[in-house]
Amino acid sequence: MLLCGHTYAVAVNRAKAVALAAFYEVKVCAPDLAGLTIFGQAGESFEAESAGAPYRYCRLRRWPRGWGFVRFFLPGLGREIAQWEPDIVLCEAEPWSFLRWQAWAMTRWRGRGAKFVEFTWENVRRPGWKGWVLRGMYRAAAAGADGCICGNRRARELMAEAGVAPERLLVTGQLGIDEESHPMVEEAAKRRWRRGLGLAEEALVVGFCGRFVEEKGILDLLQACEAVRRDHPEVHLALMGSGRLDGALAAAAAERPWLRLLPPVSNAEVAGVIGHFDLLVLPSKSHRDAATGAVWEEQFGHILLEAMMCQVPSLGSRSGAIPEVLERSDVLFEPGSPADLAMALRRWVGNREGLGQLGRDQRAATLAKWSHPTLAANYAAFLNSL
């Protein structure tokens, strides 16, 4: 297999390649991150390769520079395909990205009969002339790919409408989750962590981790926690990340002693922070792009897997693919409704025993369905069927 995509420029994400190496000889091709800033940190700090990895790794210089993660090519990708002689090229890039079409062309030209499979998250039906162009690209992608892995059910619908046959479609996540790097945090350690934040030891910390943007529903979460604290003053809120709302959230924290803003950390360090939360909430909501009219919805919500593997109970909105990840109705609430979110929080923060059982149940479900070995086995069964 040759696996390519910008996701694998980040070292921790190459755990997927480790799991796939149980089924294939794997080469990973990914763009360099030089000159990029990710969550306030230099992109190069995310790239470091571990010694003894059971796959080959090739970092290619993206071109052109500064055009983002969709509009770039990887010079040398055709050479890598020709030298590796893969049976399968798995390109994890959207049907309208430059890399997807480069990988497809190089597979057909230099892949010596290799199967070309793509992964897509795209769950948005775009309106107007852009939507018309993209529908054409989807139909071309469907005609040219041997198979398609879709990160959510909506993405599957779009690819099926474009013409991909049902037997050539798989719905599953892009990345699994590693049990060893997501340990459960003991209560004594949580108490020390709370003290370090200047909180009372008996505080119940509701947490969020991700981009500080409107569509992630952070302001709804802030409003909901404020309402819940009238009955449950032990509830505190910790927000980890960065984004357009940095200033507004800093101002809110200055007026609310129960709100803490945590600096962003690298992917590998996320579990070490969110494992101290008592409850994680992903309150994403749909967001309409004023320029294009496209409506964004949550494509997956990988942070939920990270929290649940740490046995941190997790709630989420009914936005996009979040219900597909959480798979139970009693942890869901209406997106964009602080009142419904507050109701969901009250259901759980007042029931510590039930909250603990929820964490245990969610961890068991995550381990059974989303571990790296399980995900890799699902990929292999599908890819081999092609």
Which domains does the chain possess?
A: 2-176+371-385 (3.40.50.11930), 187-369 (3.40.50.2000)
Task: Give bridge partners of residue 29 from the DSSP assignment.
Answer: 4, 58
Residue 349 has pLDDT above 90, yes or no: yes
Residue with more model confidence, 46 or 357: 357
Tokens of 294: 């496209």
pTM: 0.90
Residues β-bridged to residue 57: 28
Specify the pLDDT at position 192: 95
Q: Residue 182 pLDDT > 90, yes or no? A: yes
Cβ atoms of 325 and 284 closer than 8 Å: no
pLDDT per position as a tens digit, 107-154: 999 999 999 999 999 888 888 888 899 899 999 999 999 999 999 999
pLDDT band (50, 70, 90) for residue 38: low
d(CA 237, CA 233): 11
Question: What are the distances in angstroms from CA 230 to CA 44, 236, 239, 265?
Answer: 45, 12, 20, 32
| Mean pLDDT within 346-375 | 96
